[in-house]
Amino acid sequence: MGPVNHLEFLQRWDCDESAPAFRRLDRLLGLDANLQDAAQDTPGGRNLRYVRLQAELGGGGMEAQAACPACAELCEFALPLGAMLESVPPASDLEVGIEARGERWRFRLPRMSDLAALPPGTELGHALAETCRLDDHGAPVPDLVVEALGRELDAADPLATPVVELTCSACQTLFSASVDLASFVAREMDRLANRLLRDVHLLARAYGWSEEAILAIPPARRRRYLALIGQDSAPVRALAV
């Protein structure tokens, strides 16, 4: 998206929360489905774009919550933003091989263009297996190959569905929590938009400044103006994953 520009952010961010998270984020990033580099993104590569957006606009904090499956206690944890930013997306032409029933099945990694072409409500496992298969065995991809392929894709493109290992603080149960990065970052962008709108409302009411003038003020100085009128920025809360 380039250098942080809060006015441009508000103008481009789609506040319709019913729209899919990835479509809202793609619009914010200026990604067109017809752009060749964007269409060739793997799901993990696209998530890396979202994480970079979070680091640029939302700051370094990525606090989250997950419910313990044993006692339902909400466990707070920090998503490893630094490690995710350092990750390298897999090559879009990487192949995955599965051996089953004496046959070898070869697949390429799914791309965002593959996901965009699927009708809403499609069962992803079999649909992507058929779309990404590189061999013609004269039969549909069997269930056991689809299951094995899912595990191999998770290993080859780990940012597609990141998994965090947690220990419940209440009952000490060990469990795993998967993170929908697109939904998480979209909610962070919603919080940023709400915070900026609140800043505009308070400063416009106090000083009569326009939205454009307020959002042109550097964030640190804007916070000082808010402090002068007795208003601080809204506190940060952890988000459920």
- Would you list the DSSP string of 13-66? ----TTS-HHHHHHHHHT--TT-HHHHT--HHHHHHHHHHHIIIII-S--EEEE
Which pair of tokens denotes residue 111?
A: 């791309």
Going by C-alpha positions, the residue among 60, 10, 13, 68 that lies closest to residue 211 is 10
E strand spans, the chain: 63-67, 74-78, 95-100, 103-108, 163-167, 174-178, 239-240
Please give the mean pLDDT across all residues of the chain. 88
The pLDDT assigned to 38 comes to 77
pLDDT, one tens digit per residue, over 12-26 is 887 677 888 888 998
Type of residue found at 56: E
**Residues 145-171: pLDDT tens digits?**
999 999 999 999 999 989 999 999 999
**Which two three-digit tokens encode residue 67?**
């419910």
Name residues of the chain where pLDDT drops below 70.
Answer: 1-4, 15, 32-37, 59-61, 232-241
Q: What does pTM read for this prediction?
A: 0.82
DSSP 157: S
Is residue 195 within 8 Å of 8, Cβ to Cβ? no
